[in-house]
């Protein structure tokens, strides 16, 4: 099988648990560090799947790599190569498909419950799971592109996930590990202080309370979704 390509946009928002999962499945993957100016491939056809991680920038920023990356997303879609987007990655996929990425009503940071939509596509992805505790760190959100099926919502963000054919697009972060949560709290200390009065923002101490348990159950949820996603990988 061809490898999966994973795009990283800032050092502390790497593949996380997704990398552990792919290694356990003995699926090869290649990391492209966009944040270190590593070149984008000219085509996506050498890969069985395409993953985009999170980052602090906006898809509406004037950054030189956004337009060619949107082209790669569209090329993947045309060639039935499955896409997987986490937060910024999900917003990039959404923009490539003609959806709108705009400011969320409030910043959403920390652990928070998300609920699974009641439809057949959601059941294929989530099985009998109705709610789970996910991790969040975002100030923007996406609308749903044409043909997408809504999968998840939270009290502070209506569009937390959708599916479009083989593609899985997430606003929330299911890839978190304990080490990542701790690092994000350190890197994002100023942002947390500025947003301390927001009803959807937790402070670092709260986020890190019972952290191994939170991540254990989130990893189980991620394994469920990633297992479904790899079923769509292009084999040749």
Residue 236 pLDDT > 80:
no
Average pLDDT rounded to a whole number, residues 195-204: 92
- The pLDDT, as a whole number, for residue 37 is 96
Say which CATH class 4-230 falls into. Answer: alpha beta
The DSSP string of 58-121 is -TTS--TTHHHHHHHHHHHHHTT--EEEETHHHHHHHHHTT--EEEEEEEEEEEEEEEE-SSHH
Write down the pTM of the prediction: 0.97
- What residues does each domain of the chain span? 4-230
- Report in angstroms the alpha-carbon separations of 147 from 18, 102, 128, 142: 26, 20, 24, 14
What does the alpha-carbon distance between residue 162 and residue 111 come to, in Å, rounded to a whole number?
20
Task: Give the pLDDT confidence of 99-139 residue by residue, as tens digits.
Answer: 999 999 999 999 999 999 999 999 999 999 999 999 999 99
Average pLDDT rounded to a whole number, residues 14-40: 98
Proportion of the chain above pLDDT 70, given as a percent? 100
Residue 162 pLDDT > 90:
yes
Q: How many helices (H) and strands (E) does the chain have?
A: 8, 9
Residue 173 pLDDT > 90:
yes
Task: Give the pLDDT confidence of 6-20 residue by residue, as tens digits.
Answer: 999 999 999 999 999
């Amino acid at each position: 099988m061809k490898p999966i390509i994973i795009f990283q946009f800032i050092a502390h928002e790497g593949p996380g648990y997704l990398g552990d999962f792919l290694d356990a499945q003995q699926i090869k993957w290649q990391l492209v560090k966009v944040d270190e100016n590593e070149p984008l491939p000219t085509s996506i056809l050498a890969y069985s799947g395409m993953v985009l991680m999170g980052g602090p920038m906006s898809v509406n920023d004037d950054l030189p790599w956004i337009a060619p990356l949107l082209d790669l997303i569209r090329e993947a879609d045309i060639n039935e190569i499955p896409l997987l987007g986490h937060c910024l990655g999900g917003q990039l996929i959404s923009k490539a498909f003609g959806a709108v990425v705009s400011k969320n009503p409030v910043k959403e940071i920390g652990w928070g419950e998300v609920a699974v939509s009641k439809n057949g596509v959601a059941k294929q992805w989530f099985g009998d799971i109705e709610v789970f505790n996910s991790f969040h760190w975002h100030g923007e959100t996406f609308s749903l592109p044409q043909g997408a099926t809504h999968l998840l919502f939270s009290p502070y963000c209506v569009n937390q996930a959708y599916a479009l054919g083989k593609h899985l697009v997430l606003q929330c972060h299911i890839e978190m590990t304990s080490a990542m949560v701790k690092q994000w709290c350190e890197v994002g200390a100023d942002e947390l202080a500025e947003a301390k009065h927001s009803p959807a923002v937790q402070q670092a101490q709260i986020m890190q309370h019972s952290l191994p348990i939170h991540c254990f159950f989130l990893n189980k949820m991620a394994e469920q979704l990633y297992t479904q996603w790899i079923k769509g990988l292009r084999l040749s």
